[in-house]
Amino acid sequence: MATRRNPLNLNPLQLRTLTLLQELARLPDHGRPADEAGAMMVDNLPHPHGDHFHLGAAVVLTRDASGLVNEAAWVALERKGLIKSMFPRAAVLTPAGLAYETGLGGMLLHRGDH
C-alpha cells in the first residue's frame, strides 16, 4: 500500500511552518539534539529583513514563513504530535515531526545556482 501524502491533513500554513522548522533543525545555528531521543530543539529563529530571510544557503520569502510567528500554527502542530511548542522562542521537533514529508522544501527554500 502506498503511503498517503499529508496523512495528518495539515493545512498549508501548518505544512509551511513544519517545513521551515525541519530545515532550521538541520542548521547548526538553530538546531541541536533535544532531551528526548530522536528529537531536535529549534531556537534562535531567524528575523526577516525586508521580504526574505536566510536559512543556511537558502532564502525564504517572509510571506511563506508567517507560521513561525503564528501561535495557532504551533498549537496545531503540537496537537498532532509533530512539535512541542515553546512559542515564540523555540520548538522541539519530535521524531514524527522530523520525519513528516511535507513536500514543500523545494518550493519554500530558494537556493542560488552559483
Reduced to 3 states, what is the DSSP secondary structure of residue 86? strand
Residue 112 has pLDDT above 80, yes or no: no
- Determine if residue 103 is left, alpha or beta; phi over 0 gives left, psi from -120 to 50 gives alpha, anything else beta: left
Q: What is the pTM of this model?
A: 0.94
Q: Sketch the domain layout of the chain as residue ranges.
A: 12-105
**Other beta carbons within 10 Å of 43:** 14
Block residue for cell numbers 537558502: 58
Domain 12-105: top CATH class: mainly alpha
- For 49-81, the pLDDT digits (tens) are 899 999 999 999 999 999 999 999 999 999 999
